Amino acid sequence: MTPYDHALAAALARRGAHVELLTSRFLYGPLPAERGYALTELFYPLATRFGLDARRRRRVAKALEHPLGMLALRKRLDEADVAHYQWLRAGDAALIAPKRPRVMTVHNVLRRSGATGTARKMDAVVVHTRHGARELTERVGVSPERIRVIPHGAFEHLLSLPGERPLPSELAEVDGPVILCFGTVRPYKGIDVLLRAFAAVEGAELWIVGRPLDTPIEPLHQLARAARGRVRFVTRYLAEPEVPAFFRRADLVVLPHREVDQSGVLNVALAFGKPILMTAIGGFEEVTRDTGAGRLVAPEDPEALAGAIGELLADAGARERLGAAARAAAEGPYSWDEVARRTLELYEELTG
């Protein structure tokens, strides 16, 4: 999750920390031009030479290169006060550098259960939600005393992204309300539930934007053909400069997940101050209850979802209130400065 890594590194640097981000070459778009921190592309020099379409070859190359990268990492940590791991693989416990203190962020406990066993070797584990903390204790057995809940920051950098691209012409011509469902298309995200709900919605378009992974797309197209309003699919990966236009145009962002700990798409919607409709599960429920930035519906309930969509599309004042709460959350508890402050507090606690 390169945008997270760079946003956190920049926020820590703004607060006076000396940060070196050890990562791999990013294939999906430009990196921040002004960083304020050191950047070393240490991992996967061969795998990142392959293009985006060569997924199989990249996967094989990464498997071969990963142990070498972990060994090279050991040499880079001699001067560090804290080693903070953002991404680790299942089985990395034997490859972790002996440097202490060690911190690991588990970005999605439900989706990263294979790698979370490595968390037992950490001096502290960061999760983004209280729900994630409970899951990490109950599923993995990490002691609650070593877990810290630090929210995922809102992706504010997208608001002023250099080289922002406009919508494709056929989307820019749409006049009516637009419902946006954004992100990779996976079964756990409940897009089929959303399509069943949208069959009862009139006077709006639904845009499903994201590359399908582990999901056959034709059944979703079949559901779309039964809808009263138009459904448009953009089934590819979008580079960062393409993303803002979709969120600026959306009247409502819908996250119909079946299960979730936290979501990067939610943090984009917060940054853009969008009204968000999401299922009452995991971190979604926490964000809504803590900040008011969103409306909740039960998961797996197309009728309830359709009713909530219709009510919000008909009530501009309600959408404005939800959007204002989202902006306040992005500027307050979900700002990167606040995330960095809490992260530095953890580092200081660990280093004494």
What is the sign, positive or negative, of the torsion defined by CA atoms of 106, 109, 114, 120?
Answer: positive
Q: Is the pTM of this model over 0.75?
A: yes
Taking the C-alpha atoms of residue 101 and residue 122, their distance in angstroms, rounded to an integer, is 8
The tokens of 295 are what? 């409306």
Q: For residue 132, give the nearest of 335, 268, 340, 285 by alpha carbon.
A: 285
Taking the C-alpha atoms of residue 144 and residue 262, their distance in angstroms, rounded to an integer, is 19
Share of residues in the chain with pLDDT > 70 (%): 95
Helix (H) or strand (E) holding 21: strand 20-24
- The CA angle 149-152-153, to the nearest 5 degrees, is 130
Q: In what side-by-side order are the strands of the sheet with 83-85?
A: 83-85, 102-105, 124-127, 147-149
Where along the chain do its domains lie? 2-153+335-351, 164-331
Q: Which residue has the tokens 């590194």?
A: 9
For residues 267 and 151, the answer to whether their CB atoms sit within 8 Å is no
List, for residues 320-348, the tens digit of each pLDDT value: 999 999 999 999 999 999 999 999 999 99
CATH number of 2-153+335-351: 3.40.50.2000
Question: Is it true that 2-153+335-351 and 164-331 share their CATH fold?
Answer: yes
Distances (CA, A) of 97 to 85, 141, 165, 318: 11, 22, 42, 51
The tokens of 207 are what? 């845009």
Residue 52's pLDDT band, with cuts at 50, 70 and 90, is low
Using DSSP, state whether 279 is helix, strand or coil: strand
Per-residue pLDDT at 116: 62
For residues 136 and 109, the answer to whether their CB atoms sit within 8 Å is yes
Whether residue 113 is predicted with pLDDT greater than 70 in this model: the reply is no
CATH number of 164-331: 3.40.50.2000
Taking the C-alpha atoms of residue 317 and residue 182, their distance in angstroms, rounded to an integer, is 24
Alpha-helix runs per DSSP H in 226-263: 243-249
Whether residue 117 is predicted with pLDDT greater than 80 in this model: the reply is no
Question: How many Å is the maximal CA-CA distance in the chain?
Answer: 61
Per-residue b or e along 302-335, where b marks 16 or more CB atoms closer than 10 Å to that residue's CB: bebbbebbbebbeeeeebeebbebbbbbbbebbb
List, for residues 155-204, the tens digit of each pLDDT value: 999 999 888 999 999 999 999 999 999 999 999 999 999 999 999 999 99
Whether residue 125 is predicted with pLDDT greater than 80 in this model: the reply is yes
Taking the C-alpha atoms of residue 160 and residue 165, their distance in angstroms, rounded to an integer, is 12
The DSSP secondary-structure symbol of 257 reads -
